[in-house]
Amino acid sequence: MSGRDTAECLHNYLKTDDEAVVLRGMLVEGPESVFESGELTPDTLEDLMKVRRDSGLTDQCLCLAVQDAGEVRTSVTEAMAQTVFVRIYDRGRGYRNLRVARDELRRILDGFHDMLEVGTNRGILSLEYVGRSGHRWDRFYMVEYDALEYRGRVMFEEGYG
């Protein structure tokens, strides 16, 4: 999967890669339920709730969103640590759907590494699971979620960092 940073790489991977097909099957609209942060709105969530209600897909989460949470230099000269949050959203199903999707997300991202977009002269050496928020409620979106934090170690070709 290509991307200009760890967040874009993960978004593309989760939305299109064969390894993530089971996870996408746990979302109401499959790959159309994989968002980058900023794309998700209350109206989008309401639309997803309507789709789930009309189709009876009560065992599926509404969606997930990938957020670029910044980067810091590491002690290695040409390396950066890029932080990404992947939030899995649901409503009205308690934690049961979130838990299953969370476990699948962790399974497919274990050991993830990738090249970033061709021409950027950098690549993801490793992706480390940092932790998760646990079951949370967002009052603005009126949804339950679990936010999983990952840190990508990105190596830049000398002179490009």
Q: What is the CATH number of the domain that holds 33?
A: 3.30.70
Amino acid code (one letter) for 83:
T
pLDDT computed for residue 85 by the predictor: 98
Question: Does 1 reside within a domain?
Answer: no
Look at the chain and report how many structural domains it folds into. 1
Going by pLDDT thresholds of 50, 70 and 90, the confidence category of residue 133 is: very high
Task: Provide the residue range defining the domain that includes 45.
Answer: 6-156
Residue with the two structure tokens 């409503």: 91
Q: Is 105 a residue whose pLDDT tops 90?
A: yes
E strand or H helix that includes residue 90: strand 79-90
The pair of three-digit structure tokens given for residue 15, joined into one six-digit string = 């939305």
The rounded distance, in Å, linking the Cα atoms of 23 and 43 is 23
Going by pLDDT thresholds of 50, 70 and 90, the confidence category of residue 106 is: very high
Question: Does 53 reside within a domain?
Answer: yes
Of residues 23 and 115, more confidently modeled: 23
The pair of three-digit structure tokens given for residue 14, joined into one six-digit string = 């989760």
Question: Does 161 reside within a domain?
Answer: no
Question: Does 97 reside within a domain?
Answer: yes
Cross-strand bridge partners of residue 86: 66, 148
Among the listed residues 65, 56, 72, 58, the one whose alpha carbon sits nearest the alpha carbon of residue 26: 58
Question: Does 100 reside within a domain?
Answer: yes
